[in-house]
Structure 1
Amino acid sequence: MDATATVTPFSTLIRTASHEQHTEAETSTFMGDLLGGRLGVDAYTRYTEQLWFVYRALEEGAEALRNDPVAGPFIQPELMRSTELERDLAHLRGEDWREGLEPLPATAAYAARVTECARTWPAGYIAHHYTRYLGDLSGGQIIRD
C-alpha cells in the first residue's frame, strides 16, 4: 500500500452506505411515536422483547466468532446487551417474562439471518453487529432534545 494513500475508516464506509436506511429509521412513525410518548409502556415492552431475540442471536454468534480473524476484533464483551435486556424484561413483564414470548415473523427472520451470517459469513455478521450496536447503544440521531 502506498504510504501516502488514505484509508477510509470502516465506520465512515458503513455510515455512508447505510445513510438512506438510517434516515428511514430515524423518521419512522413507530420510533417517533415511541420516543414522543404516544405508544406507552406496552409498546416499549414489545419492542424490548423483539430486541432480546436479536441480541441473543448476535451474542450467540459472537461466542462462535470471538477468535475469527475478521469478526474477532469487533467482539467486545462490554457491548453485550442480553443480560440487561433480560433485567429490563423482568421488570416490565415480571419474573416469568419468558412465558409466552414469541418473536414477530420479521424478528425471527432477522435473527435467523444473523445466525446464518455468524455461521457462514463473518463479514456479514459484523455488518449486523455494527449496525445494531451502533444504533442501539449510541442512540443514533433519533434521540434529540
Structure 2
Amino acid sequence: MDAEGAAAPVAPTCSHLDLIKLRHGWLLAPVALVALSIAVIQVRRDALRTILDRVEEGAVRPRLKLPIFSEAMVAAAFYLLRQFLPLDNHCLARSIAISRMLRRFGHQATLVIGVQLPIAAHCWVQCEDRLMADRVDRITAFEPILAR
C-alpha cells in the first residue's frame, strides 16, 4: 500500500523499450513534445500534490473511449524525444506527460514513484505489467511508495 491507501502497482515484467519500432513514434512526437513541455513547467511551478491531483483527474475522464494510439506508439514517441533532448534528469515530468497522453488516448496508465536507499528516487509509468519509458532492470532497485 502507498501513502494514499491505494494498492501497490503490479511488478513490471516487460518494457515497451525492448519492443519499440521507431517508425511508430514519429506521428506522436510533436504531441509528446508539447505534453513534456507543459509537464516540465508544471513540475517547476506547482506542488507535487497539485500535479498528481491533475493526473488523477485525467484518469477519471479519458478523452477517447477506444484507444486509437497504442501504448507502444506513445512509448516510441517519448523514446524519440529522448534521443534529441536531455531527459534523464526529468523522470517526473516525463512520467507525468506519458501518463497524461496514455490516459487521454484511453489507456489505463499508472504513474509510480519509487525510492532507493540511501537516497535516490525515480518515477515511471506502467500499464499493468508493461513499462513505458524505462527498462525493467532500471526500476527493480526502487521500492514503489506512490502509485496513481
Shorter-chain TM-score category? 0.3 to 0.5
More strand by share: 2
Higher relative contact order (Cα pairs below 8 Å, separated by 6+ residues): 2
More helix by share: 1
TM-score normalized by structure 1?
Answer: 0.33
TM-score normalized by structure 2?
Answer: 0.32
